[in-house]
Chains A and B, each alone.
Chain A
Amino acid sequence: MSAATKGSGMTWVGRSIRRLEDPALVAGQGRFTADLPAAHWVRFVRSTIASGNIKRIGVPPNSNVITAADLASAKSIKPMLHKFNYVPVAQPILAADVVRFVGEVVAAAVAPSQEEAEDLADQVEIEIEPLTAVTDARRALLAGAPIIHPEAPANVIVEGRIKTPDFDATWASAHIRIKFEARSRRQNATPLEARAGHAAYDTATGRVTLTCTTQMPHLTRTAIADVLGMPESDLRVIAPDVGGGFGQKMSLPPEYVILVWLARRLRSSVAWTEDRRENLMAGFHSRDQVIALEGAFDKDAKLTALSADIVANIGAYSCFPTTCGVEPLMAMAELPGPYQVQAYECVSRGVLTHTCPMAPYRGVSRPVITFALERLMDKAAAKFGIDPVEIRRRNLIDRFPYKSATGLTFDEGSYRQTLEMAIEHIDLPAFRARQKQARAEGCHLGIGFSTFSERTGYGSPAFAARGMEITPGWENVEITMDPSGLVEARIGSSPHGQGLRTTLAQIIADEIGVEPRQIRVVHGDTDRAPYGWGTFASRSLVIAGGASLIAARKLRSKLIKIAGHMLEASAADIVLEGGMAKVSGTDRSVPIATMARQAYYQTHRFQGDIDPGLTEIGAYDPAGTFSNACHVAIVRVDIDTGHVAIEKFLAAEDAGRIINPMIADGQVHGGIAQGIGNALLEEIVYSDTGDILTSTLADYLPPTAREIPPIELHHMETYSDASITKAKGVGEGGAIGAPAAVINAINDALAPFNVSIDEIPATPRKIRAALRLAMEKRA
């Protein structure tokens, strides 16, 4: 699997070549933000009170402590949606008069070292008059609940409503209806590298370079320049190696704004490295949702109508740039999932509370709505006395393009085929026999399925549908071949572990006939890369990959023209491969490197036919494409302890054309592991007064190698015209489908006890509580 060789006629796309990113990373030569030295270090002083009025901030004399008064000229962070009754609320860079969650930044202590900054922070006295806090979204909706922002007196910041015209009639004609409540507790994406920023002032130019661990460098530049009222060109944002993001690093934290402000004020360098406690308290949360769901089925167990009331706890502020609408609105738009249900009504609200702000996290709402919908399908299957597989067979979409109840267009997929593929590999009859025998021996095995879609690679039209003032979506890629024949591709996406430098190089290599290792993909530097939106929402391979293909095709045409001149052949006869331009059917050829020199140094030879230089730009802004998959979990539940062991996890996945199978599998593995963590372990817990009780990794539990079973993957590749490379996104599906499969498996294992676990994470305590309740009822 060396990247060094390629057989004739083979493509780079589709091959598991080694990643170009890895040599530096395995040698300890990666460059992460916290590796940079700085003249000054910051320790943020954070509120220990969830809700209150700031009465006094006491600062040691002659110390460098920044408070809201110093930052009076800075604007607040105030993202905007123009739809869905969105109420814009402002997040101050430093809390001025009131605090709204434990962890909110009140002051910044600046000192020559991290330790001294911590010492200084300890001496800052913040006096806060505590007020009653509300941390639970449904309590925040009750009359008389504490109000988080006066602009939103009912604490509702965004409210989406939908009701299809046929809903009432379909609802009334239902054979049966099934109603329940699904709940996801609050989670933290927990990238292994917490946040970090380093701002350095350049005295020669007056510019500031902010190096930070972000997924969206250009948007970070725009946002900070806007907030501080500085020319955007005076700010350079660099995302160096970034230690995972999963969405947590795609919103603007006020901390980075303060760093830039400080660098300009001190005319020096200033850095902050977040500690894990800060990250768990204030580094953005997600997935805190309750879905009251009711499904109507006809006599053939076909889902005919769906009714949902979604409450998303969005915390104390609205995240920039997506706004807090991202969770409730995506939940509303995509809840009907991959099932043929056309009658739908939904109310989805984002509710303010005195908790850490919500931001996107891998899958955004879809892990929760998939969990809810897949529980509904299993409950319905039980009611109809049919197998969970059978009810999915009857309901999955199978004609494309399919238009959903909410108007989404599903491109070609393999929803039923991946289900059948998964069942074939899991050997369902054998499992059922083993399960029966195990039950007789007091051992509780269960199997759970989830079939779902993963909307990926969507461009500006999809974001515009949400009424976003900032409407992301497109990507530009600039490809330059230098006079030596080496290639640089500058992209606006900002990968941080996805291997995009490798996969984009594979796409480009096939077009222009050089090896991937001769293509350097440049990203994460606003001075070097074209404006782009960053890496999130399973978009980069589809959109930056499509833009790369478009730019590479343009470069290919130009190279072919040059070769035609040099080889005195017709363009139609030129082939680019193995670093050479060849005239097919002859032995005439010229090295691409020689052509590159000509394109720069002998331009007079191509006068009137070919522009000088070798730079081409590709832009791509697709409508989006749906990946799909079926996940299967087999679990063993210890009914005495409530412990769940996952014996096996299998996924049959279709993400269109696979550019690099090794990398694609890695994405699915990682997503599934996070989904298993979400299903069983991970929960941010607040006390009633708004204290955070899970502020270490001994309390908030990402899974280890012991909790993640061997994951078996099977692929289908449906080529859809929705993506010009035929590749669909693959980043989030693992996380979307896994919680539902695991919880369905737990419920299958516990079927004899007549319990239903409808909450994630299903911790041992919750499973034991459900079992105890069932036993008491029975007694």
Chain B
Amino acid sequence: MTDKVDITLNINGRNHAISVEPRRTLVDAIRENCGQTGTHIGCEHGVCGACTIIVNGDPVRSCLMFATQADGVPIRTVEGLAKGDTLHPLQRAFMEHHGLQCGFCTPGFLMLATAVLEREPDITDDELLDVLASNLCRCTGYQNIIKAVRAAAAEMRA
């Protein structure tokens, strides 16, 4: 065991002062130290994208970052998507279009799509497909995830 370091994770606007080993990954810190378990771990080697969160405006795989690298940086996770009781258009679209089945990959897809649509609201369907191919879903065959994200993109542009 190595000495712990004190850091502050700013998750969805709230500061979490935590003490972690330098080797602790960001996703483990978010889940274990901050209790925000909406972000899931699917592979821990950066392929499946289940742990995708938004760090400083960018979608990142939180299993590939150390917690210490995110000290003081604004982090957004699925828990922060809704505004009070009002769901984000992407959350609504995933329900409306059946973009989820088991729901395990869903937080990662929601955060990936949120970051991309905020950055490129006019992204083409084909570019969007490339982006969504970053993450794995084993249940839906992607049909309804694509449909949901396209619908939300249209709503967010309107």
Within 53-97 of B, Cβ neighbours of A (below 8 Å) are at 77-79, 81-82, 87, 91, 94-96
Per-residue A-contact encoding for B21-62, CB less than 8 Å = 1, 0 else: 101100010011000111111111101101000000000000
Please, how many angstroms separate the alpha-carbon atoms of A734 and B143 in the complex? 14
Taking the closest CB of chain B, its distance from the CB of A479, in whole angstroms, is: 25
Interface residues of B in 103-158 (CB under 8 A from A): 103-107, 110, 129-130, 132-146
- What are the residues of chain B within 8 A of A37 when measuring CB–CB? 32
A496 to B23, CA, bound (A): 33
Task: Tell me the residues in window 417-445 of chain A with beta carbons closer than 8 Å to chain B beta carbons.
Answer: none
B136 adjacent to A192 (CB under 8 Å): yes
Interface membership of B5, Cβ < 8 A: no
**B96–A1 CB distance below 8 A:** yes
- Could you say which of A26, A194, A243, A673 contacts B102, with CB atoms under 8 Å apart? A243
Given A26-B91, A27-B81, are A696 and B45 also a contact pair (CB < 8 Å)?
yes
Enumerate chain B residues within 8 angstroms of A25, measured Cβ to Cβ: 100, 103, 106
Inter-chain contact A28/B24, CB cutoff 8 Å: no
Interface string of A703-731 (1 = CB under 8 A from B): 01110101100000000000000000000
Q: CA separation between A560 and B155, bound complex, in Å?
A: 46
- A708 B141 Cβ-Cβ under 8 A: yes
Q: Nearest 4 A-B pairs (CB), nearest first?
A: A28-B38, A243-B104, A497-B102, A673-B141
* B-contact bits for A682-720, CB 8 A (1 contact / 0 none): 000000000000001110001011101011000000000
Task: Report the separation of the CA atoms of residues A28 and B111 in the bound assembly, to the nearest whole angstrom.
Answer: 11
Q: Give the contacts of A456-491 with B (CB-CB under 8 A).
A: none
Q: Known pairs A26-B103, A30-B103, A114-B28. 8 more at Cβ < 8 A?
A: A26-B100, A26-B110, A28-B37, A28-B38, A243-B40, A244-B139, A276-B44, A669-B141
Are the CB atoms of B130 and A706 closer together than 8 Å?
yes
Measured in the bound complex, the distance between the Cα atoms of B41 and A345 in whole Å is 47
Q: 30 A-B Cβ contacts within 8 A? A: A22-B94, A26-B91, A26-B110, A27-B79, A28-B36, A29-B38, A29-B79, A30-B38, A30-B103, A30-B104, A32-B37, A115-B1, A190-B138, A191-B138, A192-B138, A241-B103, A243-B105, A275-B44, A499-B101, A666-B143, A670-B140, A671-B141, A672-B141, A673-B142, A697-B45, A704-B132, A704-B135, A704-B142, A706-B130, A708-B143
**In the complex, how many angstroms separate the beta carbon of A500 from the nearest chain B beta carbon?**
11
Q: In the complex, what residues of B have CB within 8 A of residue A669's CB?
A: 140-144
Q: Number of A residues contacting the other chain (C-beta, 8 Å)?
A: 58
Given contacts A18-B96, A496-B102, A666-B101, are A192 and B42 in contact (CB under 8 A)?
Answer: yes
A19 interfacial by beta-carbon distance below 8 Å: yes
Q: CB within 8 Å of A: which residues of B?
A: 1, 21, 23-24, 28, 31-32, 36-45, 47-48, 50, 77-79, 81-82, 87, 91, 94-96, 98, 100-107, 110, 129-130, 132-146
- Alpha-carbon distance between A674 and B132 when the two chains are bound, in angstroms: 17
Residues from chain A with a CB closer than 8 A to the CB of B47 are 696-698
Q: How far is the CB of A36 from chain B (nearest CB, A)?
A: 9
Complex CA distance for A734 and B28, rounded to whole angstroms: 36
Measured between alpha carbons, how far is A26 from B98 in the docked complex, in Å? 11
CB distance from B49 to the nearest CB of A (A): 10
Once bound together, how far apart are the Cα atoms of A499 and B110, in whole Å?
Answer: 20
Contact of A192 among B31, B50, B142 (CB under 8 A): B50
Segment 294-353 of A: residues with Cβ below 8 Å from B: none
Across the interface, do B24 and A698 meet the contact criterion of CB distance under 8 Å? no
Q: Which residues of A contact B132 (CB under 8 A)?
A: 704-705
- Report yes or no: B95 in contact with A23, Cβ–Cβ below 8 A: yes
B109 CB to closest chain A CB, in angstroms? 10
CA distance A499 to B44 in the complex (A): 28
A627 and B105 alpha carbons, distance in the complex (Å): 29
Q: Are A244 and B96 in contact (CB under 8 A)?
A: no
Find out whether the CB atom of A706 lies under 8 angstroms from the CB atom of B37: no
**Within the assembled complex, what's the spacing in Å between the Cα atoms of A702 and B134?**
12
Contact of B138 among A246, A498, A663, A705 (CB under 8 A): A246
Question: Which listed residue (A30, A114, A116, A497) contacts B139, Cβ 8 A?
Answer: A497
Compute how far the CA of A293 lies from the CA of B32 in the bound complex, rounded to whole angstroms.
Answer: 53
B110 — which chain A residues lie within 8 A by C-beta?
26
Instruction: Give the contacting residue for B136; candidates A27, A704, A734; CB below 8 A.
Output: A704
Q: Within the assembled complex, what's the spacing in Å between the Cα atoms of A21 and B78? A: 17
Q: Is the CB of B41 within 8 A of A26?
A: no
C-alpha gap A35/B102 in the complex (Å) = 15
Q: Does A514 contact B (CB under 8 A)?
A: no
**B-side contacts of A19, CB under 8 Å:** 95, 98
A649 nearest CB neighbor, chain B only:
B141
In the complex the two chains form, is B77's CB within 8 Å of A276's CB? no
Name the one of A191, A666, A705 contacting B146, with C-beta atoms under 8 angstroms.
A705
Chain A 18-55 per-residue mask, 1 if CB under 8 angstroms from chain B, else 0:
11011101111110101101000000000000000000
Complexed CA–CA distance, A32 and B102 (Å): 10
Is A226 in the interface zone, CB < 8 Å from B? no
**B contact residues around A26 at 8 Å (CB):** 78, 87, 91, 94-95, 100, 103, 106, 110
For B42, B47, B141, the residue with the greatest tally of chain A CB atoms inside 10 Å of its CB is B141
Q: Quick one: which of B1, B100, B134 has the most chain A CB within 10 A?
A: B100
Q: How far is the CA of A56 from the CA of B37 in the complex (A)?
A: 40
How far is the CB of A776 from the nearest CB of chain B, in Å? 36
A739 to B142, CA, bound (A): 18
CB-CB under 8 A from B77, the residues of chain A are 28
Q: A119 in the interface, Cβ–Cβ < 8 Å?
A: yes
Q: Is the CB of A710 within 8 A of B143?
A: yes
Bound CA–CA A34/B44 (angstroms): 14
**In contact, A28 and B140 (Cβ under 8 angstroms):** no
Contact indicator A697/B48 (Cβ below 8 Å): yes
